[in-house]
Amino acid sequence: MNEGDRKIRVLVAKPGLDGHDRGAKVIASVFRDAGFEVVYTGLHQTPEMIVAAAVQEDVDVVAMSVLSGAHMTLFPRVKDLLDAEGADDILLTGGGIIPEEDMQTLKEKGIGRLFGPGTPTTDAVAYIREWFQENRQPEGV
């Protein structure tokens, strides 16, 4: 394992009223298989619930699945709440039906890489591992 002595902790969240959670469950399973510690919040989470869980569980990453079209509201709201909690060092990433131009706008607001339908799950695993090595590894490891 390249992550050092501890596992990468990821919170997989399904915000809003969208009830389609198959993708979130698949990515949670992929992350577990990759050796990550995964917390899955379940359906219908508010941004406040997601951030509270992220802080309580001391996660490195919040990965949200947004299929409802509310990505331009949900991602910035969760990012703002993380920042307000002093958890601005948590990577906020995710996926869903998100147009490329919206992905770019969200990136400019401090949101991590976002993944669309058909993206290989290995891309998300590799992205999180790279981010972790650059941002969470102790010096000299």
pLDDT in tens, 118-140: 999 999 999 999 999 999 876 54
Closest CA to 12 of 138, 133, 125: 125
The Cβ of residue 56 has, within 10 Å, a number of other Cβ atoms equal to 10
pTM of the model: 0.93
pLDDT exceeds 70 at position 44: yes
Q: Which residue carries 């699945």 as its tokens?
A: 65
What average pLDDT does this structure show over 91-98? 96
Is residue 128 one of the residues assigned to a domain?
A: yes
Q: Which domain holds residue 66?
A: 9-135
Q: What is the pLDDT of residues 46-93, one digit of tens each?
A: 999 999 999 999 999 999 999 999 999 999 999 999 999 999 999 999
CATH number of the domain bearing residue 96: 3.40.50.280
Looking at the structure of the chain, the number of domains it has is 1
Residue 93's φ and ψ, nearest 5 degrees, are -135, -175
Q: Is 97 helix (H, G, I), strand (E, B) or coil?
A: coil
In a domain, 1, yes or no: no
pLDDT at 1: 45
10-43 per-position pLDDT tens digit = 999 999 888 889 999 999 999 999 999 999 999 9
Q: Residue 2: pLDDT above 50?
A: no
- For 21-29, the CB contacts below 8 A with 24+ separation are 21/65, 23/65, 23/67, 23/95, 23/96, 24/65, 26/121, 27/63, 27/65, 27/95, 27/121, 27/124
**Alpha-carbon span 110 to 96, nearest angstrom:** 18
Let me know: does 106 contact 71? Beta carbons within 8 Å: yes
In a domain, 82, yes or no: yes
More confident residue, 18 or 1: 18
